[in-house]
């Protein structure tokens, strides 16, 4: 018997908490699978409702629109990552070690986490790579930010930036560097798979995640020391 956890999600991310009902959990589980497969543009509430034997209108009771659902999923992912970093850097003092652990967790190939049986983290991590920028690259970014929809990403950014400040309190750009690196971690994987002339990381070679780790670690360490 394994315990399961629930990540605390901001109330403004949903109309009705999808973690509290059967239908809600189905919406989350199936939307991760479908957005991964057909992409966010191709994904609709109608298609989703069909797959889970419900109706479009019922899905709308949980999420205002499909954009908000995406924001929810991406926020869940960042919360999950931050939880893992907290868990794995607990009791570690050396900030260099903490940085390495954070970068390792950030870049490692994700696999299903039994603590959260409703979410396929492998599929979700692919969604983060392809779709996460779309959560804030909109005209409503300021409203969405105001009600805290991007707290997950900002909190993670602060966490890693704080490690960097421990290593070098003189460095002028801890947050800028970390936000750049968090983005680059996903971008470089996307490039290596689809636009390979933009990166030396090679998706055809083994251990793409480790290549990514080495690249990002080089950038960060050189920048701050």
Partner DNA sequence: TATTTTAAATAGTATTACTATTATAAACTA
Partner DNA sequence: TAGTTTATAATAGTAATACTATTTAAAATA
Residue numbers of the site for its own copies (CB under 8 A)? 38-39, 41-42, 130-131, 133-134, 136-139, 141-142, 145, 150, 153-154, 157-158, 172-177, 179-180, 183-184, 187-188, 190-191, 194-195, 197-201, 215, 218-219, 222-223
Please state the closest distance from residue 87 (CB atom) to DNA, in A.
Answer: 32
Q: Which stretch binds DNA (CB under 7 A): 60-68, 80-88, 113-121, 151-159?
A: 60-68
Binding flag, residue 145, DNA (CB under 7 A): no
d(CA 41, CA 64): 17
What residue has token string 């800028």?
176
| Binder of residue 29, out of DNA, its own copies, none (CB less than 5 to 8 A by kind) | none
Q: What residues contact 165, with CB distance under 8 A and at least 6 apart?
A: 171, 174
Residue 65 binds DNA (CB under 7 A)? yes
The answer to whether the CB of 158 falls within 8 A of the CB of 165 is no
Nearest 5°: the CA angle 163, 169, 170 is 140
Measured CA to CA in angstroms, residue 177 lies from 29, 70, 103, 157 at distances of 33, 26, 13, 9
CB of 191 to its own copies, least distance (A): 6
User: Which residues contact residue 205 at a Cβ distance below 8 angstroms, ignoring those fewer than 6 apart?
Assistant: 211
* Binding track over 22-51 against DNA, x by CB under 7 A: xx------------------x-xxx-----
Among 54, 88, 130, 179, binds DNA (CB under 7 A): 54
Site stretch for DNA (CB under 7 A), options 53-61, 136-144, 171-179, 206-214: 53-61
Structural contact between residues 54 and 145, judged by C-beta atoms closer than 8 angstroms: no
Q: How far is the CB of 77 from DNA (least distance, A)?
A: 21
């Amino acid at each position: 018997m394994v315990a399961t956890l629930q990540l605390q999600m901001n109330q403004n991310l949903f109309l009705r908490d999808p973690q509290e009902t059967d239908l809600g959990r189905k919406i989350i589980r199936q939307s991760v699978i479908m957005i991964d497969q057909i992409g966010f543009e191709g994904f609709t509430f109608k298609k989703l409702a069909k797959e889970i034997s419900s109706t479009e209108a019922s899905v709308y009771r949980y999420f205002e629109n499909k954009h908000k659902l995406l924001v929810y999923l991406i926020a869940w992912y960042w919360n999950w990552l931050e939880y893992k970093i907290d868990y794995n850097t607990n009791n570690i003092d050396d900030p260099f070690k903490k940085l390495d652990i954070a970068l390792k967790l950030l870049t490692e190939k994700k696999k299903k986490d039994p603590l959260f049986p409703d979410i396929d983290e492998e599929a979700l991590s692919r969604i983060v790579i392809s779709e996460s920028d779309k959560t804030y690259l909109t005209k409503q970014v300021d409203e969405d930010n105001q009600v805290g929809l991007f707290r997950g990403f900002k909190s993670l950014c602060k966490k890693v930036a704080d490690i960097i400040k421990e290593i070098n309190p003189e460095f002028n750009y801890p947050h800028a560097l970390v936000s750049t690196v968090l983005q680059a971690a996903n971008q470089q994987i996307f490039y290596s798979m689809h636009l390979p002339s933009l990166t030396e990381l090679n998706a055809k070679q083994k251990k793409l995640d480790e290549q990514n780790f080495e690249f990002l670690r080089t950038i960060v360490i050189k920048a701050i020391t």
